[in-house]
């Protein structure tokens, strides 16, 4: 087995997704240790960046979710410290964490994503009403820099619009209003970098009443997961290819999870978002897809760690190859 040296597992953090990150990181830490890897826990919410530098990690596994963990800020610190890390680099992480910028880049490459409108968090009722007319009801409101279904509201009637908007703007300085797509909810994990990126089996998510919220995502046993998703071979291939393309045009590297809706009326796939540091809990979808591909949770963690790199490395930085 490759020698990884001293490995830091970064989890916890100070985002709204701290609770999920603690679960993810604990799982990753145990998995790496079970493989004989010298892995150590590090919580950036409890320890300083000076302590991170002093640990002299040879590489780190980022199991942080949300702001200050998967939004490019920590990736920039690790670049400065010269510590190879898992996942995408600074720019790709920052873009993927911003749902609005992600959609703009996908659209510029001709990739399908639901129609949307960006609202300032001081938008008037008239602006909200106009948005509802343009996008139609129901519609989705989202805090564009949050994940794990935090800061999200489904608006089925005008009477719900103001309350949904007020809830979402608590989490961000803008609110993403998005066309609601009725259909099947799917996700496609991808792993690898450059030409070696490949898609794992597709997972279909069937939540009670179609409500895949925070509770159903991480704690409920009522949500059904079908993996591999019951799709014909041609559609499966199309979705996996689209996931890889969506990952690459954002500059993604290492691993990620690409979320889709499959529209009920014509079975057309549409991209919702890309998660650059997906969950690794017992309910998480990437380990589920890896298992369907014959890869254990422990082997998945090692495979992701093997891809740790610096994204701005110069040729003379041994062991830290640049990833295109």
* Selection from 112, 174, 108 nearest residue 141 by Cα: 174
Alpha-carbon distance of 129 to 158, in angstroms, equals 8
Give the DSSP H or E segment for 302. helix 297-306
Q: Where are the alpha helices (DSSP H) in 124-261?
A: 125-135, 161-169, 214-218, 233-249
Q: Do 274 and 242 contact (CB within 8 A), yes or no?
A: no
Residues near 232 by Cβ (< 8 Å), separated by ≥ 6?
none
Burial of 292 (0-12, 13-18, 19+ CB in 10 A): middle
Q: How far apart are CA 274 and CA 285, in angstroms?
A: 13
Query: To 5 degrees, how large is the angle CA 257–CA 263–CA 269?
Result: 45
CA 96 – CA 244 distance, rounded (Å): 14
- Which sequence positions are flagged as catalytic? 17, 148, 218, 257, 259, 273, 275, 279
């Amino acid at each position: 087995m490759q020698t990884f040296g001293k490995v830091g597992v970064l989890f916890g953090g100070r985002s709204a997704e701290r609770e999920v990150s603690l679960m993810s990181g604990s799982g990753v830490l145990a998995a790496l240790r079970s493989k004989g890897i010298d892995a150590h826990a590090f919580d950036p919410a409890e320890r300083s960046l000076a302590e991170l530098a002093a640990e002299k990690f040879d590489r780190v596994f980022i199991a942080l979710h949300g702001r200050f963990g998967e939004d490019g800020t920590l990736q920039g610190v690790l670049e400065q410290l010269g510590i190879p890390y898992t996942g995408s680099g600074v720019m790709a992480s920052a873009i993927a964490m911003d749902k609005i910028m992600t959609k703009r880049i996908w659209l510029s490459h001709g990739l399908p994503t639901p129609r949307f409108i960006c609202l300032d968090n001081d938008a008037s009722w008239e602006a909200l009403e106009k948005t509802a007319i343009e996008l139609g009801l129901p519609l989705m409101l989202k805090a564009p820099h949050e994940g794990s279904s935090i800061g999200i509201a489904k608006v089925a009637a005008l009477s719900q619009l103001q309350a949904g908007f007020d809830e979402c703007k608590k989490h961000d300085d803008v609110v993403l209003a998005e066309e609601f797509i009725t259909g099947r909810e799917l996700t496609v994990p991808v792993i690898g970098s450059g030409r070696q990126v490949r898609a794992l089996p597709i997972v279909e998510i069937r939540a009670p009443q179609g409500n895949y919220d925070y509770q159903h995502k991480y704690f409920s046993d009522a949500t059904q997961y079908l993996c591999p998703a019951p799709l014909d071979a041609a559609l499966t291939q199309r979705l996996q290819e689209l996931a890889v393309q969506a990952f690459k045009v954002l500059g993604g590297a290492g691993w990620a999870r690409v979320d889709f809706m499959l529209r009920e009326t014509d079975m057309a796939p549409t991209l919702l978002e890309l998660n650059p540091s997906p969950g690794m809990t017992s309910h998480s979808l990437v380990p589920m897809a890896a298992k369907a591909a014959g890869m254990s949770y422990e082997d998945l963690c090692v495979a992701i760690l093997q891809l740790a790199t610096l994204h701005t490395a110069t040729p003379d930085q041994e062991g830290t190859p640049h990833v295109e």
